[in-house]
Amino acid sequence: MPNERLRVVAATPIPDELVAAVLAAEPRIDFVVDQSLLPPMRHPGDHAGDPEFRRSDEQQRRYEELVDSAQVLYGIPGERPSELRRTVEANPALEWVQLMPAGGGAQVRGAHLTEEQLGRIRFTTTAGVHAGPLSEFCVLGLLAGFKSLPRLEEHQRQHDWADGRWIMKRLDGSRVLLVGLGGIGSLTARKLAALGAHVSGTSRRDVAVDGVEEVIHPDALADRVGEFDGIVVSLPGTPETEGLINAAVLANAKPGAVLVNVGRGTVVDQDALVEQLRAGRIGFAALDVTTPEPLPAEHPLWDEPNVLISPHTAALSDLEDELIAKLFADNCTRYLDGRELINPVNTREFY
């Protein structure tokens, strides 16, 4: 029997106009938002809010009382897995948690919940919300590598017209391998195909994705990687994906191949990446994610000339909060109608 109404509590910041938009889209929810108890957002997508924000003891008590009265949580307190665990233990009526990150499975893993709790509560992520800006970063990374951006910048710094002109690679007609065909990979596939690239992708399942000419099993990566001019990684960080782009895969890459990583830093063996950048096997790498984060100031990747580092910022856009609110409203309707939710967390592999 589907629910009639839902008590939703915002544990993380959400602007008033988006609360109104969610309520307009799904009036069957009671969306409890006490702005005085939530840290102000410093920019769109600032789900943890201003770290300077402090609640008085009385405010903290009221905040926890509210959060612990939810049937549904919008975000988790402070974006901290330990706080998720606290509220799960305090609130036996909690039914569903909408996590803010696309890789929100890691928050659930970090909460170390029991099998019973994992079975009782549903968790959903924002996978797909960041696909737009991240797919643009993937195109940027490939083009920066294909058009030798570091070399151009160096000539410009030197006021050097570059006597010997050189051939630039074309994205049109190139072969690109998308490691990961979720929301990000699928949208990137369409954009790359529109630019004339021949796109292949990896999946463990038998999937058909627009713009993808061939689907390859991830087990075949080391054997097949040498066929591609570009490799784009958009995998979540799980124990299963850790080091999937390992030394063997990188050593077998096509000489000069461009690597882009927007998934999680743990997926790529970074020591092997530095080695292959120096050997020229990887011609250029555009990394929005590294391991660890922040990347330590002394890490050799910072000084590699053919590396573009983006401090995990490529996904952020002015649309993020609006897209999350829309996804959440859709999911509320699905929940109330007893339908399948969008983006359920896989609670075996936690992504």
Active site members:
264, 293, 312
d(CA 247, CA 275) in angstroms, rounded, equals 9
Which one of 67-75, 81-89, 183-191, 318-326 is the stretch in contact with ligand NAP (CB under 6 A)? 183-191
Task: Please pick, from the candidates 11, 73, 76, 127, the single residue that binds ligand NAP as defined by CB under 6 A.
Answer: 127
Rank residues 199 and 262 by Cβ distance to ligand NAP and give the closer one: 262
Candidates 230, 263, 265, 283; binder of ligand NAP (CB under 6 A) is 263
Yes or no: say if 337 and 331 are a contact pair by the CB < 8 Å rule: no
Residue 348 sits in the site that holds ligand NAP (CB under 6 A): no
Site for ligand NAP in 222-261 (CB under 6 A): 234-238, 240-241
Q: For residues 133 and 262, what is the distance between their CA atoms, to the nearest angstrom?
A: 11
Quick check: 38 and 12 in contact, CB under 8 A? yes
x/- mask, ligand NAP, residues 15-54, rule CB under 6 A, reads: ----------------------------------------
Q: How far is the CB of 98 from ligand NAP (least distance, A)?
A: 15
Find the part of the chain contacting ligand NAP (CB under 6 A) among 43-51, 127-135, 146-154, 328-336.
127-135
The distance of closest approach from Cβ of residue 114 to ligand NAP in the complex, given in angstroms and rounded to an integer, is 23
Instruction: Point out which residues bind ligand NAP (CB under 6 A).
Output: 102-103, 127-128, 130-131, 134, 180-185, 203-205, 218, 234-238, 240-241, 262-264, 288-289, 312, 314-315, 349, 351
